[in-house]
């Protein structure tokens, strides 16, 4: 996941111009099929960075779903983005 983020996450022009630094906290669900759903930015930063984090999360490749008692289950994941 880290390699994917480094390759795909872009610092927006707006944020560069305003010299914005900080952290975004995002949450999303990996469902029983391994697809990303329910993306939510819990802590926002603005300047297009929230939308960029959402874009990258929605472009993640298929995950292996979590397994509980031998069956796939949905799992909520929290991911910090530092800019």
pLDDT of residue 12: 96
pLDDT of residue 38: 98
pTM for the structure as a whole: 0.92
The C-alpha R_g of the chain, in whole angstroms, comes to 14
Residues with Cβ within 8 Å of 74's Cβ and at least 6 positions away in sequence, in order, are 29, 30, 31, 32, 65, 66
Nearest to 67 by CA among 29, 34, 27: 34
* Counted domains in the chain: 1
Domain of 24: which CATH number?
3.30.2420.10
pLDDT digits 0-9 by tens, 64-82: 999 999 999 999 999 999 9
The answer to whether 53 and 59 are in contact (CB under 8 A) is no
Query: Three-state DSSP class for 17?
Result: helix
Mean pLDDT of the chain: 97
Domain that holds residue 24: 2-82
């Amino acid at each position: 996941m880290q390699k994917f983020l480094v390759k795909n996450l872009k610092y927006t022009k707006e944020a560069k111009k305003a010299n914005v630094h900080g952290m975004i906290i995002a949450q999303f669900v990996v469902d029983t099929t391994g697809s990303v759903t329910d993306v939510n930015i819990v802590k926002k930063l603005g300047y297009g960075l929230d939308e960029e984090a959402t874009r990258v999360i929605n472009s993640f490749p298929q995950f292996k779903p979590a397994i509980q008692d031998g069956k796939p289950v949905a799992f909520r994941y929290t991911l910090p983005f530092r800019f």
